[in-house]
């Protein structure tokens, strides 16, 4: 950061770029409270929005945004299937970056119309936003700060902006895969599961929640959930919801094969009473 903070700050978060950059490079989920603290160093936040197809992300992410006052703008991904040589080819088009750019331009236009100078903080590392940055600076006379994940930010993006102020990343202490696996297995074994049964989606959310104290990074926990499935430690079966939840229908239940967990060393064998 090489300029002093001033006035109001308009924050636009490319959530997909932020989240996947954090997961892929550091195995961590974004810390939105830390992001808010960074925003306040540049001035008073007047608008804060995050753009994504939120059906592609954990439900807890939306709640975390709400807690710090960042508005979640849901932009559904469009999936287009076209016949290929052997099977249908699915092409995915995400318009979140287009909506983000349009909203930023409208915000800058409104500020310019009343001679209001703002700081625009773009939370992304994607070079596709270079044109947006040049428009905000040159056409509307606004200050632009790029705030991305270290190691994932385009150097051209930074060059186009007034300043950079990258995400603060605290690398966690390394944890062995065996310790992560054992913690997940113990979580499933002790229960009780929400809704009286585990699903993989709920299990993932519980593994990520700090109150359950599963060690490792977010990525490490998710990778371990997949590994436990591949090793047949976590199995799936279809259950009738009527006796469980009192409503008709079926669901896939995730359950623990304790024998397999003991065999692989993730769970201690219980002693048989003498």
The answer on pLDDT for 1 being more than 50 is no
118 in Cβ contact with 46 (< 8 Å)? yes
* Percent of the chain at pLDDT exceeding 90: 65
Does residue 4 have a pLDDT over 60? no
> How confident is the prediction for the chain on average, in pLDDT?
89
Which span out of 72-81, 155-164, 168-177, 241-250 was modeled with the highest average pLDDT? Answer: 155-164
pLDDT, greater one: 92 or 20: 20
When pLDDT is cut at 50, 70 and 90, the band that residue 246 belongs to is confident
User: How many angstroms separate the Cα of 114 from the Cα of each of 140, 195, 204, 256?
Assistant: 11, 53, 48, 62
Give the three-state DSSP class for 145.
strand
Residues 145 and 165 sit within 8 Å (Cβ to Cβ): yes
d(Cα 270, Cα 274) in Å, to the nearest integer?
12
- Helix, coil or strand: residue 122: strand
Distance (Å, whole) CA 262 – CA 265: 5
Mean pLDDT over 46-55 rounds to: 96
For residue 3, is pLDDT > 70?
A: no
pLDDT score of 166 more than 60: yes
Mean pLDDT is lowest, of 97-101, 105-109, 173-177, 178-182, for 173-177
Q: For the chain, where are the alpha helices, taking DSSP H only?
A: 15-26, 32-40, 59-68, 96-113, 130-134, 155-160, 177-190, 200-208, 218-230, 241-245, 258-263
**Residue 84: pLDDT band by 50, 70, 90 thresholds?**
low
Q: What is the pLDDT of residues 120-151, one digit of tens each?
A: 999 999 999 999 999 999 999 999 999 999 99
Order of strands, edge to edge, in the sheet holding 44-52? 71-74, 44-52, 8-14, 118-123, 143-146, 163-164
The reported pLDDT for the residue numbered 193 is 83
Copy the structure tokens of residue 54: 């939120």
Given this model, what pLDDT does residue 44 score? 95
- Reported as a pLDDT band with limits 50, 70 and 90, residue 93 is low
Bridge-based pairing of strands 88-93 and 78-83 is antiparallel
pLDDT at 85 over 60: no
Is pLDDT at 45 greater than 80 in this prediction?
yes
Q: Is 49 left (phi over 0), alpha (psi -120 to 50) or beta?
A: beta
Are 46 and 10 in contact by the 8 Å Cβ rule? The answer is yes
Q: Which residues are registered as beta bridge partners of 55?
A: none
Specify the residue for token string 């002093």: 4
Which span out of 190-199, 228-237, 238-247, 264-273 was modeled with the highest average pLDDT?
A: 228-237
User: What does the pLDDT average to over 58-70?
Assistant: 93
180 vs 246: CA distance, rounded Å: 34
Burial group, residue 268, by CB count within 10 angstroms (0-12, 13-18, 19+): exposed
The Cα 136–Cα 142 span in angstroms is 6
- Residue 146 and residue 35 in contact, taking contact as beta carbons nearer than 8 Å: no
Range with the poorest average pLDDT among 64-73, 76-85, 235-244? 76-85
Which pLDDT band, with edges at 50, 70 and 90, does 6 fall under? low
Tell me what pLDDT residue 81 has: 64
* Residue 274: per-residue pLDDT: 55
Residue 67: name the closest of 40, 94, 48, 86 by CA: 48
End-to-end CA distance of the chain: 68
């Amino acid at each position: 950061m090489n300029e002093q903070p001033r006035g109001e700050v308009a924050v636009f978060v490319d959530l997909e770029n932020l989240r996947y950059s954090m997961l892929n490079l550091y195995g961590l989920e974004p810390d939105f409270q830390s992001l808010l603290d960074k925003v306040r160093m540049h001035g008073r936040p007047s608008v804060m929005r995050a753009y994504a197809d939120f059906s592609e992300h954990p439900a807890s992410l939306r709640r975390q945004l709400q807690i710090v006052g960042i508005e979640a703008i849901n932009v559904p991904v469009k999936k287009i299937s076209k016949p290929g040589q052997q099977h249908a080819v699915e092409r995915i088009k995400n318009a979140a970056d287009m909506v983000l750019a349009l909203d930023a331009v409208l915000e800058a236009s409104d500020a310019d119309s009343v001679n209001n100078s703002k700081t625009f903080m773009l939370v992304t590392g994607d070079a596709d936003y270079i044109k947006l940055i040049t428009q905000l600076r040159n056409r509307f006379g606004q200050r632009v700060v790029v705030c991305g994940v270290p190691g994932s930010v385009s150097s051209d993006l930074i060059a186009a902006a007034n300043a950079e102020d990258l995400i603060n990343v605290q690398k966690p202490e390394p944890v062995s895969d065996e310790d992560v696996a054992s913690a997940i297995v113990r979580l499933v074994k002790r229960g009780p599961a929400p809704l009286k049964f585990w699903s993989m989606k709920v299990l993932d959310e519980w593994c990520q929640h700090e109150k359950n104290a599963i060690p490792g990074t977010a990525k490490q926990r998710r990778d371990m959930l997949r590994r436990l499935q591949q090793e047949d430690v976590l199995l799936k079966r279809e259950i009738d919801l009527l006796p469980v939840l009192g409503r008709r229908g079926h669901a896939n239940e995730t359950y623990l094969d304790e024998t397999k967990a003991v065999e692989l060393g993730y769970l201690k064998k219980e002693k048989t009473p003498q």
